[in-house]
Amino acid sequence: MKLTGAELIVQLLERQGIRTVAGIPGGANLPLYHALAESGLRHILVRHEQGGGFIAQGMARATGRAAVCFATSGPGATNLLTAIADAKLDSIPVIGITGQVPASLIGTDAFQEVDTYGLTIPITKHNYLVKDAAELVQVIPEAFRVALSGRPGPVVIDVPKDVQKAAVEIDALPEPGAADPAPRPDPASLRRAAEMISAAKRPVVYAGGGVISADASGLLRELVARCDLPVTATLMALGALPADDPRFLGMLGMHGSMATNAIVDKADLLIVCGARFDDRATGKVEAFAPNAAVIHIDVDSAELGKIRSLGERDAAVSGDVGVALTALLALAPAAKRTQWWKEIDAVKAAHPETPPEDPMHPWSLIRSIGAMAPLDAIVTTDVGQHQMWAAQAYPVRYPRSFLTSGGLGTMGFGLPAAIGAALARPECTVIALVGDGSLLMNVQELATLAEIGLNIKVFVFDNGQLGLVRQQQELFYQERYVASRFERRPDLAAIARGFGIEACPLASFDAAVVEQALLTDGPVLVNMAVSETENVFPMVPPGAANVQAIIRAPKDRAGRRS
Amino acid sequence: MYIPNTIIELLVDNHAGVMSHITGLFSRRGFNLEAILCAPVNGGETSRMYLLVNRDGRLEQIVRQLEKLRDVRSVTVRDDYDHTVFARIEDLITSGAG
């Protein structure tokens, strides 16, 4: 059969099971858009390519399947970069297909030419510049295989306009690309890990995003039940265990609870599942679980020993977390750790949680929303204070139901990621918890949302500040509040209505308003006026050990201000 | 402080961009790269690369990161090579400049 490169791309995407792509057309990818007309693919026209990248991320994070976004050359590609870099740091399988100027013009500073290949080398798992339309038959399936295999990650395919237009004769379309078989850990390392779990007196599981991406949450729940193990999670692993599981200790690290960090500090064994000792989780690395031996399970062997070196008393388990947990379930004897749980309860009693009383405190608002939300709701967040309060307070029940920008920490993630999640899981209510600063970074996607009318509830924590910046200036920069306050605050509810989204302000807490928003069909925005000066605590000062977290501002301790 | 060097030998796919992937990895992760020697082999389908690097605690991490690159087919640390080839290139360059 004879096809153009563009038609070939579209057909190969359909064969990969792609139903929806997000993007923006422009000069260099118009042949691709021309081919869309005759395809079954649904295209979501975003208002900025970064929004398209995050919609693809939302689809991928909510399902674990690879998702696709399109951008044109030059500014289209550069606008996409942040979403691609974000996917790299959180290991999300996103495939970006960018138009490029015709091959004959590459290198001439042609109109809307930028070196997309060069720009995307450091922020992708792999990237391609397609020189010949016939290569697409191999490149597209391979891109999916790369994105999904082992540790997932983003792939960018840059396709010059003439390659999109070129006609190719092919005999048959290739098989869709799929993930390689999950890498199996060395049995000896697993036997050793099982012995270490059995011998440990104070073991703690430190679960990371790898548990979610390996779809191994169920296996983790089984193992921790069998071996009676306490579990802490990184931001990326929230949902691996239900928030109300008695063995779940909550999030660790910079904004983890005092008790959780203290328990990790006491551990004699750390069972690290798909986590990478990120600095926000570990605090000062030398002081992190200083007495613990480590079992480090990761599908990316380069993570083993990268931050925490593994010695004689540790175990490096290189392979798929799910395969490893299945093996450990068979190898590790059932246990009851009464003494350790007594110690844990004592630590918890020594560091009691004191929830804020004010119902308009963001922590309280998040608890209220969580209590009223459908059980299968998917939550997205933006980045900043509200994100940390959400991590602390939202009752995350299932894997892939708490979508947040962890590694890159990209403000503007929440709204477009919610659109992606709602496209991929239309049966679920999607709740976007966003800050006013973050919302404004991709506010244009309200137009996209209004157009497609998804079941998304946007709750804005409007404090008129870059709150986490303000907090650091208060705590660590002598209260010099430089450029962290918005001198002029827009009316976000009016803005939403201007885009055609139903919206209401919330100045004082009213459960009926929250409930009404959750029950209304279609998109709704609730703009919640919250304190301008509230801080997220506990907080581990940058460079300090997790056990040195502070729970109030120093000036409050001195009694200068209550 | 004198840091001894060693050679990493790579077999890589030969296309424009591979060199960027390799050198980009070194700069991005803050690894030292002292010298590179690269030439096509197998009729141009692949290239062989020799990287002169510090033999320090990060060597294993460098090797693992290199192994993850799609275009890298094999990575070998060659403790059995002497570094005279790089020394000879240095001679060549110095004499050319003089």
Subunit contact B17:A121, Cβ cutoff 8 A? yes
Q: pLDDT of B48-77, one tens digit each?
A: 999 999 988 899 999 999 999 999 999 999
- Whether residue A559 is predicted with pLDDT greater than 50 in this model: the reply is no
Q: Cβ(A413)–Cβ(A382) under 8 Å?
A: yes
Subunit contact A121:B67, Cβ cutoff 8 A? no
The answer to whether A126 faces chain B, any CB pair under 8 Å, is yes
Q: Which domains are delineated in chain A?
A: 2-169 (3.40.50.970), 187-350 (3.40.50.1220), 362-548 (3.40.50.970)
How distant is the Cα of B58 from the closest Cα of chain A, in angstroms?
Answer: 9
DSSP string, A175-229: PPP-PPPPPPPPHHHHHHHHHHHHH-SSEEEEE-HHHHHTT-HHHHHHHHHHHT-
How distant is the Cα of B94 from the closest Cα of chain A, in angstroms?
Answer: 32
Amino acid (one-letter) located at A514: V
Q: Token pair of A72, please?
A: 């044109």
The answer to whether B17 faces chain A, any CB pair under 8 Å, is yes
- Sort out which chain A residues have CB atoms less than 8 A from B67's CB and list them: 301-302
For chain A, percent of residues with pLDDT exceeding 90: 98
Q: pLDDT of A232-264, one tens digit each?
A: 999 999 999 999 999 999 999 999 999 999 999
pLDDT at B60: 93
Residues in chain B: 98
Subunit contact B68:A302, Cβ cutoff 8 A? yes
- Whether residue B90 is predicted with pLDDT greater than 90 in this model: the reply is no
Q: pLDDT of A389-433, one tens digit each?
A: 999 999 999 999 999 999 999 999 999 999 999 999 999 999 999
The answer to whether B60 faces chain A, any CB pair under 8 Å, is yes
Helix axes A414-424, A445-452, angle to 10 degrees: 20
Subunit contact A302:B64, Cβ cutoff 8 A? yes
A115 to chain B: closest CA residue: B17
DSSP state of A550: B
Q: pLDDT of A266-325, one tens digit each?
A: 999 999 999 999 999 999 999 999 999 999 999 999 999 999 999 999 999 999 999 999
pLDDT at A405: 98
The answer to whether B45 faces chain A, any CB pair under 8 Å, is no
Instruction: Please name the member of A122, A305, A306 whose beta carbon is closest to the beta carbon of B28.
Output: A122
pLDDT at A467: 98
- Sort out which chain B residues have CB atoms less than 8 A from A300's CB and list them: 68
Instruction: Please name the member of A118, A125, A301 whose beta carbon is closest to the beta carbon of B20.
Output: A118
The answer to whether B34 faces chain A, any CB pair under 8 Å, is no
How far is A169 from A50, CA to CA, in rounded Å?
A: 35
- Sort out which chain B residues have CB atoms less than 8 A from A306's CB and list them: 61
B21 to chain A: closest CA residue: A121
Subunit contact B61:A306, Cβ cutoff 8 A? yes
The answer to whether B24 faces chain A, any CB pair under 8 Å, is yes
How far is A3 from A81, CA to CA, in rounded Å?
A: 30
pLDDT at A175: 97
The answer to whether B20 faces chain A, any CB pair under 8 Å, is yes
Subunit contact A305:B61, Cβ cutoff 8 A? yes
Question: CA torsion angle for B66, B71, B74, B77 (degrees, to 10)?
Answer: -30
How far is A127 from B15, CA to CA, in rounded Å?
A: 13
Phi, psi of A538 (to 5 degrees): -65, 160
Reduced to 3 states, what is the DSSP secondary structure of residue A251?
strand
A304 to chain B: closest CA residue: B61
pLDDT at A338: 98
Mutate to test the interface with A, among B14, B19, B21, B72 (most CBs of A within 10 A): B21
Q: Cβ(A173)–Cβ(A38) under 8 Å?
A: no
- Sort out which chain A residues have CB atoms less than 8 A from B68's CB and list them: 300, 302
pLDDT at A140: 98
The answer to whether A115 faces chain B, any CB pair under 8 Å, is no
pLDDT at A457: 98
- Sort out which chain B residues have CB atoms less than 8 A from A305's CB and list them: 60-61
N- to C-terminal Cα distance for chain A?
76
Mean pLDDT of chain A: 97
- Whether residue A562 is predicted with pLDDT greater than 50 in this model: the reply is no
The answer to whether B61 faces chain A, any CB pair under 8 Å, is yes
Subunit contact B20:A129, Cβ cutoff 8 A? no
Split at pLDDT 50, 70, 90, the class of A105 is very high
Subunit contact B61:A302, Cβ cutoff 8 A? yes
How distant is the Cα of A121 from the closest Cα of chain B, in angstroms?
Answer: 6
Strands (E), A209-335: 231-233, 248-251, 269-273, 293-298, 315-318
The mean per-residue pLDDT over the stretch A36-44 comes to 96
- Whether residue B98 is predicted with pLDDT greater than 60 in this model: the reply is no
Q: Cβ(A496)–Cβ(A458) under 8 Å?
A: yes
Split at pLDDT 50, 70, 90, the class of A561 is very low
How far is B28 from A387, CA to CA, in rounded Å?
A: 28
How distant is the Cα of A303 from the closest Cα of chain B, in angstroms?
Answer: 9
Reduced to 3 states, what is the DSSP secondary structure of residue A435?
strand
Kindly tell me the sign of the dihedral angle through the C-alpha atoms of B84, B88, B93, B95.
Answer: positive
The mean per-residue pLDDT over the stretch A116-138 comes to 97
Subunit contact A122:B24, Cβ cutoff 8 A? yes
Subunit contact B21:A121, Cβ cutoff 8 A? yes
How far is A201 from A523, CA to CA, in rounded Å?
A: 50
Exposure letters B60-74 (e unless 16+ CB within 10 A, then b): ebbebbbebbbbbee
Q: How many CB atoms lie within 10 A of CB A155?
A: 30
Q: pLDDT of B21-31, one tens digit each?
A: 999 999 999 99
Split at pLDDT 50, 70, 90, the class of B1 is low
Kindly tell me the sign of the dihedral angle through the C-alpha atoms of A280, A283, A289, A295.
Answer: positive
Of A25, A48, A55, nearest in space to A416 by CA: A55
pLDDT at A16: 98
Name the pairing type of β-strands A167-169 and A231-233: unpaired
Subunit contact A129:B17, Cβ cutoff 8 A? yes
Of A61, A63, A62, A65, nearest in space to A87 by CA: A61
Split at pLDDT 50, 70, 90, the class of B83 is confident
Subunit contact B70:A146, Cβ cutoff 8 A? yes
- What string of H, E and C letters represents the secondary structure of A472-541? HHHHHCCCCCCCCECCCCCCHHHHHHHHCCEEEEECCCCHHHHHHHHHCCCCEEEEEECCCCCCCCCECC
How distant is the Cα of A412 from the closest Cα of chain B, in angstroms?
Answer: 25
pLDDT at A427: 96
pLDDT at A326: 98
Split at pLDDT 50, 70, 90, the class of A557 is low
Split at pLDDT 50, 70, 90, the class of B96 is low
How far is A366 from A396, CA to CA, in rounded Å?
A: 11
The mean per-residue pLDDT over the stretch A35-42 comes to 96
Subunit contact A121:B24, Cβ cutoff 8 A? yes
Across the A/B interface, how many CB contacts are shorter than 8 Å? Answer: 26
Of A315, A284, A291, A358, nearest in space to A543 by CA: A284
The answer to whether A300 faces chain B, any CB pair under 8 Å, is yes
The mean per-residue pLDDT over the stretch A60-66 comes to 98
Split at pLDDT 50, 70, 90, the class of B79 is confident
